[in-house]
Amino acid sequence: MPRRYSHDVLVIGSGAAGLSVAIQIAAHARVAVICKGKLDEGSTAWAQGGIAAVLDDTDSIDAHVEDTLRAGAGLCHEDVVRFTVSHSRESIQWLVDLGVGFTKLVTPDGNEDFHLTMEGGHSHRRIIHAADATGRAVSDTLSGQVRRHESIEVFEQHIAVNLITRDGRCCGAYVLDIEKNSVDLFAAPFVVLATGGASKAYLYTTNPDTATGDGIAMAWRAGCRVANLEFNQFHPTCLYHPRAKSFLVSEAVRGEGGVLRLPGGERFMDRFHPQAELAPRDIVARAIDHEMKRLGIDCVYLDITHKGEAFIREHFPTIHARCLELGFDMSREALPVVPAAHYTCGGVLIDLQGQTDVPGLYAAGETAFTGLHGANRMASNSLLECFVFARAAAQSIAAQLGSVSSPSGIPDWDASQVRDSDEDVVISHNWDELRRFMWDYVGIVRTTKRLRRAQNRAHLLQLEIAEYYSNYRITADLVELRNLALVAELIIASALERRESRGLHYTLDYPQTSAQALDTILTP
């Protein structure tokens, strides 16, 4: 039998944004946290580099803002950038107070201070990190706080299916209990979408399997606008190895002196940008893609051997150890790397409080579009965005608690007209087809012809998935496929709307950048 739950706040997603909202609102509310797998298995745990923040006396908010605006290729919302950067120090202090063990160094005067590293697009060392496993350190700390809080109830192995709206307001969600194979009702006057991005729409990605655009798809079906979904960031350096699924080599490797080389040992990034390996990610990824296609090679090479084994073991222990497992010693040889889908810069449109178009529905993190990233996210601004907007959403919700209650009479999920599927191969086939045509036609370099081809494929898939969804009992795989196919359509539609090349969106049919910078906003 399906169950019914009632909470003050329903948080869908267990990454940095979702858990931060839950922790900060739990003093005032009963909170449910929904996560597909285990609590600490979100994309946050995969983050290697760190969190961008103004912490050093030689740095400034203005400098961080200027770097972000430059990387965003004219599309960043300056008020949002300044709002985010201005709250960076307090966000880091909150994490420190929770117990995140950021890497420290001994200063010349004998005191300890946080070690800050450099990454692409930044003009100062401002990336605070926990060695090369910052995401894991943050995720473990936040997960521990959530598990210990008596006001937070965690539902692992659950996946949200659809949001529930009544009288124009979001008031909960239908959620599939994966282990019991039942769809339960979670009622709450406030719902927060923090499900991450949609990089699993692409064949090659640095993201975990959970990054299927669920929050974006659910918000769209509930009536929310989305923005700038054509800007898909491809991380320039994902390890090229058949057994290294989704393993990226952190930007910090280049920040600490790593250089990109062709198979013959020649450096090439200085031909594409004055900052060479530390150019913004879109430029580095496009340069690698260009060289691979020009020379017909499978990968390029990232070389930091000149820094020596002791330096590499100290600064990149996780990457070094994983590479050794795969047969590479990065202290003695260059690593084979390729670009891979990494970050969804667009998402569900929200304001500075995290509020979407639908009252009662909030979004934070990679699911959301704030205007911070513009046409290209600058390295390590994403985790910062999670914490800043999680706090803003929690404060907004806290101010309204008690003034809104969940409506009564919400019906249970109706599964009376469906049956168990006898052809799940359709799901795996469609999943594979979707990710392949997105990689081939909606990748780093695009054309209108390729996008139209992808649009036709996506439309046919949507029809097939809708028929399947209507007739068979849902599974987690079907829910993810349905969401990913919808988000893929929105990505393609957004890319066709933008008739210029800007940042992460590069099309051979419109290679120039327009004089006027406008967001691409789609309305249901």
Distance, first Cα to last Cα, the chain:
34
CB atoms under 10 Å from CB of 134, counted, come to 28
Among 129, 43, 90, smallest CA distance to 344 is for 43
Residue 14 tokens read as 């267990």
Amino acid at site 237: T
Among 221, 179, 173, smallest CA distance to 34 is for 173
Distance CA 520, CA 431 (A): 26
Q: Which residue carries 């699993």 as its tokens?
A: 200
Could you tell me which residues come within 8 angstroms of residue 352 by beta carbon, excluding any fewer than 6 positions away?
79, 80, 83, 370, 392
CB 152 within 8 A of CB 146: yes
Q: What b-and-e string marks burial along 405-438, b requiring 16 or more CB atoms within 10 Å of the CB? A: ebeeeeeebeeeeeeebeeeebbeebbebbbebb
CB 457 within 8 A of CB 438: no
Among 291, 305, 284, smallest CA distance to 238 is for 284
Which listed residue (136, 254, 281, 457) is catalytic?
281
* Helix or strand run (H / E) with residue 504: none
Q: Strand runs (DSSP E) across 178-265, as ranges?
A: 182-187, 190-193, 226-227, 232-239, 259-261
SS3 93: helix
Q: Are strands 31-34 and 9-12 parallel, antiparallel or unpaired?
A: parallel
Distance CA 158, CA 183 (A): 9
Q: Is the dihedral of CA 108, 109, 112, 118 positive or negative?
A: negative
Amino acid at site 432: D
Q: Is 281 a catalytic residue?
A: yes
* Helix or strand run (H / E) with residue 33: strand 31-34
Distance CA 371, CA 408 (A): 36
Q: Which residue carries 């290729």 as its tokens?
A: 73
Residue 166 tokens read as 């009544």
SS3 258: coil
Q: Could you give the residue numbers annotated as active site? A: 281
